[in-house]
Amino acid sequence: MSTKRIGLIGAGNMGSAMVKGWLKSDPGMVDRITVTDAIPMAAKRLAKETGIAVASSNLKLVKDSDLILMAVKPPDIEKALEGTFEQFGRGKILVSVAAGRTVISLESIFPVEVAVFRLMPNVAVEVNAGTICFASGNNVDPQTEEEVFELFRPLGHVISLDEKLFSAATAIGGSGPGFMALFADAFVDGGVMAGLPVPIARELTVSMMHGTAKLLFEKGILPNELRHIVTSPAGTTASGIAQLERDGARSAIIDAVQVAAGRANELG
């Protein structure tokens, strides 16, 4: 993918996070990325912050790009691509991170066959630790699929997933950082109530969450296995978990994932 020119349409939170993640991984990519946005100042702001180029129009961006990354709201895709459709069908690739827009719905807007990919990333792509669900369209050959997969791999953990599972995955991979941030905030508050200064409570919380995730990921153990390793008989962890169970923490988390998945289904 070293020769691929990337055109980003949409300089919002997700588009900006992906650009920053790419540049963090490989600063040389700055010369390969161009951006536009419906709000010109947003594109200029991202360009000033990262050094990437700003295209004068979406048509110009599509003409000059090999891969077009759509990071706009789902209903805005057709409007953003208006006047550019004839530029496709010449080996160009479309990648969408718009929630709820299926591969088939994206393929259908083009008069010719276009290689379409759907991604569901989360904001941790900015620090190369994202969770990215990945689905390929009907017009994608194996080589193109592998190239696009490799392009997004530096942004985090890429998971090839059946598109019908995207709503459920969104509830964990997409909404999960928000849930985890809520839990982290509660840990900080709990630490402060126990007597810790706020900065120390925050540092302990973030370090603990990072280490826990790394243990689960690198050792490949199940969450309940790690819980039993940490929990000594009649110890502090056992007391805390007993209270969490009394307060319904486990069921609250399960319910939150179910509700988020349901909302994702409504959007898509």
More confident residue, 267 or 53: 53
Query: Which is nearest to 93 in space by CA: 108, 121, 113?
Result: 113
DSSP-derived secondary structure for 109-131: TSSS--EEEEEE--GGGGGT-EE
Q: Helix (H, G, I), strand (E, B), or coil: what is residue 136?
A: strand
CA end-to-end distance (rounded Å), the chain? 30
Q: How does 23-50 read in b/e, with b if 16+ C-beta sit within 10 Å?
A: beeeeebeebbbbbbbeeebbebbbeeb
Over residues 156-169, the pLDDT tens digits come to 999 999 999 998 99
Query: Which is nearest to 100 in space by CA: 175, 38, 166, 168?
Result: 166
**pTM listed for this prediction:** 0.87
Say what the pLDDT of residue 267 is.
73
Question: Is the pLDDT score of 133 beyond 70?
Answer: yes
Mean pLDDT over all residues of the chain? 94
Element at 143 (helix H, strand E): helix 142-152
- H-helix segments, 5-131: 13-25, 40-50, 58-64, 77-81, 103-107
Say what the pLDDT of residue 1 is.
42
Instruction: Tell me which CATH homologous superfamily contains domain 6-166.
Output: NAD(P)-binding Rossmann-like Domain (3.40.50.720)
Query: What are the φ and ψ backbone dihedral angles of 120, each rounded to 5 degrees?
Result: -130, 90
Q: How many CB atoms lie within 10 A of CB 113?
A: 13
Question: Is the pLDDT score of 2 beyond 60?
Answer: no
Over residues 180-215, the pLDDT tens digits come to 999 999 999 999 999 999 999 999 999 999 999 999
Say what the pLDDT of residue 90 is.
73
> How many whole angstroms separate alpha carbon 197 and alpha carbon 53?
44
Q: How many CB atoms lie within 10 A of CB 249?
A: 14
Q: Report the percentage of the chain scoring pLDDT > 90.
A: 90
Q: How many residues comprise the chain?
A: 268
Q: Which residues pair with 158 in a beta bridge?
A: 132
In contact, 71 and 12? CB cutoff 8 Å: yes
Lowest mean pLDDT among 15-29, 162-176, 177-191: 162-176
Over residues 77-127, the pLDDT tens digits come to 999 999 999 898 778 999 999 888 899 999 999 989 999 999 999 999 999
Cα angle value 236/240/244 (rounded, 5°): 170
Position 268 confidence tier, pLDDT thresholds 50, 70, 90: low
* Helices 236-246 and 249-267, axial angle in degrees (round to 10): 50
For the chain, the structural domain boundaries read: 6-166, 174-267
Say what the pLDDT of residue 134 is.
93
Task: Return the CATH number of 174-267, one of 3.30.930.10, 3.10.20.600, 1.10.3730.10, 1.10.645.10.
Answer: 1.10.3730.10
Query: Can you read off the two tokens belonging to residue 124?
Result: 């941790």
